[in-house]
Amino acid sequence: MSQRIRIPWKTFAKVVAKLLAVTIGIGAAVLVIAWLAGAFEDKIAPHTAVANVRHLGTERTEAVHEVTKDYIEEAIGTLKAASRTVVSAKVLATIEEINVTAGDQVLVGDVLIRLDSKDLEARVKQADQALVAAQATRREAESSYKRDSQMVQQNLIPRAEYDESTRRMEVARAGELQAEQAVEEANAMLAHATIHAHKAGRIVDRLAEPGDTARPGEPILVLYDATSLRLEAPVREQLAVKLRAGDQLNVYIDALEREVKSTIDEIVPQADAPSRSFLVKASLPRSEDLFEGMFGRLRIPAGQRRHLCLATDAIHTVGQLEFVEVVTANDEIEKRFVKTGQVGVPGRVEVLSGLKAGERVVLPPQTANESSNEGGQR
């Protein structure tokens, strides 16, 4: 006889409950997806949308025109002085006084620095005393030579004694000359204790203070001639080979927001291989507000180019985007994105893309002031 397998009631109920929970979850997920897909909302019948076309009315328009403009290329450079002087001492001494500071204007002959001259004055006195002694020795030797010269003629002394007297006189004269040169050298060293300006200029740096020890060749002051300022700028070789010494170019000084005239003084006859450029040096006119180290732009004519020109009033801006309203052949107005370049004359701007020559663009309506100005001009 076969035996029946009996399943406990509790186990059966658990299985049915699990199946029911899974079924309910799946049903709920299907309903949510259907709701998100809009299954329970009313549908709108498809139809063709008619664009809202705008036609030209009384708006002012202007034609985009093409212009020819001189193209200027800028070479960035730095103002430097052609005449720059480093002031240093020629003797080892202590600095007693410095009469100038950075920014001072000096003239030729002005006293810039005084050094301690006690040791140098003592050397001058020693040289003077040595000269006095040498002169006395020379006089004594000359007197002996004259006496021996007379006696040798009378055969009163041997010839050898006369020769010895001659030698002592020549040695004494040489000693005197040497002492005179020592005096001159000592006086020259003493003169170096006072340092004068050998050229006019402006002090740009002070590298020592009173009490410091001045050493030969060690810089104490730096000055430059303000009339020798020039802009030194690397110019690409395609433009540099067309420039000549004496050419007149404009230089724009950013810090002063001013343009000044310049004259090309020198073009270094060797190109820089990495940058393919020549160093051009252009002199600038003297000005109290131009200083060494300032930033400048050398503006070099680079030929002519043609480009489209448009009134800035016709351009609308949304964020970083620019667009204009263009009048089509059917007098319809469409919006078109454009890209602008450099600003030309006031109220005009260069158009790089988005328009063609001859196309018309819509201008904003005139204000009352503009209308009155035009009426007055008429």
Q: Identify the CATH number of the domain in which residue 90 sits.
A: 2.40.50.100
Contact 55, 331 (CB under 8 A): yes
Question: Within this chain, do residues 110 and 209 fall inside the same structural domain, yes or no?
Answer: yes
Structure token pair of residue 187: 């006086």
Task: Name the residue among 124, 250, 111 with its Cα closest to residue 189.
Answer: 124
Choose the final residue of a domain: 224, 243, 268: 224
State the pLDDT confidence band at 27, using cuts at 50, 70 and 90: confident
- How do 360-363 and 219-224 pair as beta strands? unpaired
The answer to whether residue 122 sits within a structural domain is no
Contact 311, 34 (CB under 8 A): no
- How do 348-353 and 219-224 pair as beta strands? unpaired
The answer to whether residue 24 sits within a structural domain is no
CA distance 80 to 224: 9
Structure token pair of residue 285: 């006119």
Residues ≥6 apart with Cβ < 8 Å to 272: 234, 278, 279
Mean pLDDT across the chain: 84
Question: Within this chain, do residues 108 and 88 fall inside the same structural domain, yes or no?
Answer: yes
**What pLDDT is stored for residue 52 in this prediction?**
65
The answer to whether residue 14 sits within a structural domain is no
Task: Name the residue among 117, 348, 97 with its Cα closest to residue 211.
Answer: 97
Question: Within this chain, do residues 230 and 291 fall inside the same structural domain, yes or no?
Answer: yes
The answer to whether residue 189 sits within a structural domain is no
Q: What CATH number did the domain enclosing 263 receive?
A: 2.40.30.170
The answer to whether residue 212 sits within a structural domain is yes
Query: 3-state class of 294 per DSSP?
Result: coil
The answer to whether residue 164 sits within a structural domain is no
Q: What are the pLDDT digits (tens) for 136-179?
A: 998 988 888 888 888 878 787 788 888 888 898 899 899 999 99
Q: Quick one: average pLDDT of 21-42?
A: 78
Task: Name the residue among 115, 112, 114, 108 with its Cα closest to residue 222.
Answer: 112
Structure token pair of residue 113: 């620095």
Question: Within this chain, do residues 206 and 103 fall inside the same structural domain, yes or no?
Answer: yes
Please return the burial class of 343, using the count of CB atoms within 10 Å of its CB with bins 0-12, 13-18 and 19+: exposed
pTM: 0.53
Give 98's DSSP letter: E
> In one letter, which amino acid is 217?
G
Contact 103, 243 (CB under 8 A): no
Q: What are the pLDDT digits (tens) for 111-136?
A: 999 999 898 889 999 999 999 999 99
Place of tokens 């960035």: 76
**What pLDDT is stored for residue 373 in this prediction?**
47
Place of tokens 């007693």: 96
**What pLDDT is stored for residue 7 in this prediction?**
59
Question: Within this chain, do residues 230 and 294 fall inside the same structural domain, yes or no?
Answer: yes
The answer to whether residue 120 sits within a structural domain is no
Place of tokens 């049915």: 16
The answer to whether residue 159 sits within a structural domain is no
Question: Within this chain, do residues 300 and 311 fall inside the same structural domain, yes or no?
Answer: no
Q: What are the pLDDT digits (tens) for 67-102?
A: 877 778 899 999 998 888 889 999 899 999 999 998
More confident residue, 27 or 170: 170
Choose the final residue of a domain: 304, 328, 343: 304
CA distance 74 to 77: 9
Question: Within this chain, do residues 297 and 201 fall inside the same structural domain, yes or no?
Answer: no
Query: 3-state class of 320 per DSSP?
Result: coil
Question: Within this chain, do residues 202 and 312 fall inside the same structural domain, yes or no?
Answer: no
Q: What are the pLDDT digits (tens) for 209-238?
A: 999 999 998 999 999 887 888 999 999 999
Structure token pair of residue 77: 């450079």
pLDDT at 298 over 90: yes
What's the Cα-to-Cα distance from 2 to each of 7, 9, 214, 306, 356, rounded to whole Å? 16, 22, 127, 107, 99
Residues ≥6 apart with Cβ < 8 Å to 303: 70, 71
Give me the domain span that covers residue 313. 60-68+306-377
Question: Within this chain, do residues 209 and 93 fall inside the same structural domain, yes or no?
Answer: yes
CA distance 27 to 368: 70
Give 227's DSSP letter: G
Choose the final residue of a domain: 256, 287, 304: 304
What's the Cα-to-Cα distance from 157 to each of 144, 162, 165, rounded to whole Å? 13, 7, 11
Task: Name the residue among 123, 73, 84 with its Cα closest to residue 303.
Answer: 73
Contact 205, 221 (CB under 8 A): yes
Question: Within this chain, do residues 320 and 360 fall inside the same structural domain, yes or no?
Answer: yes
CB count, 10 Å around CB of 56? 15
CA distance 325 to 333: 6
Q: What CATH number did the domain enclosing 331 receive?
A: 2.40.420.20
- Domain count of the fold of the chain: 3
**What pLDDT is stored for residue 149 in this prediction?**
85
> In one letter, which amino acid is 322?
E
Question: Within this chain, do residues 231 and 300 fall inside the same structural domain, yes or no?
Answer: yes
